[in-house]
Chains A and B, each alone.
Chain A
Amino acid sequence: MIYVYTNRESGTNSYLLGSPSSDAAIMIDPGSFDGAVLRCIEDNGRHVSHILVTRPRAFHIDGIRTIKRIYDAQIIAPCRSLLSYDCTLIGDNQSLELDGFEVKTIAMPDHTRDSVVYVVDGMLFAGEVMSAGLVDVSASPYGRALLIETIRKTILTLPPDTVIFSSFGPPSTVGVERALSPDCLLAPPAAPP
Chain B
Amino acid sequence: MLLRRCRVPQCLNSAFFRQDACLQHSADAGAARTAAVDYLLSEARITELSFDGLRLSALTLSDKTFEQCSFRHCVLEQCDLSRAVVNLCFFDHAGLDTVSFAGSDIRRTVFGMAHIIDCDFSDSELCECNFNGITCGNSRFSDCDLHSSRFIGASLDHVSFRNCNLHEVHFGNAIPVECDFRYSNLEDAHHHIPGRRLR
Contact = CB atoms under 8 A, between A and B. Distances in A.
A122 B129 CA distance: 20
A169 B128 contact: yes
A175 B52 CA distance: 14
Contacts of A180: 113, 132-133, 152-153
Given A2-B2, A179-B93, A184-B153, 13 more contacts: A4-B108, A17-B2, A133-B133, A161-B13, A161-B14, A170-B150, A173-B90, A179-B113, A179-B133, A181-B133, A181-B153, A183-B173, A184-B173
Interface of B: 1-3, 5, 12-14, 48, 68, 70, 72, 88, 90, 92-93, 108-110, 112-113, 128-130, 132-133, 148-150, 152-153, 170, 172-173
Contacts, number: 100
For the complex of A and B, 9 pairs with smallest distance between CB atoms: A176-B112, A133-B152, A170-B130, A183-B173, A181-B153, A170-B128, A159-B12, A133-B132, A180-B153
Interface string A131-175: 011100000000000000000000000011101000001111101
A183 B153 contact: yes
B92 A121 contact: no
A133 B92 contact: no
16 contacts: A2-B88, A17-B2, A122-B1, A122-B5, A159-B12, A161-B70, A170-B130, A170-B149, A173-B92, A175-B113, A176-B110, A176-B130, A179-B112, A180-B132, A180-B152, A184-B153
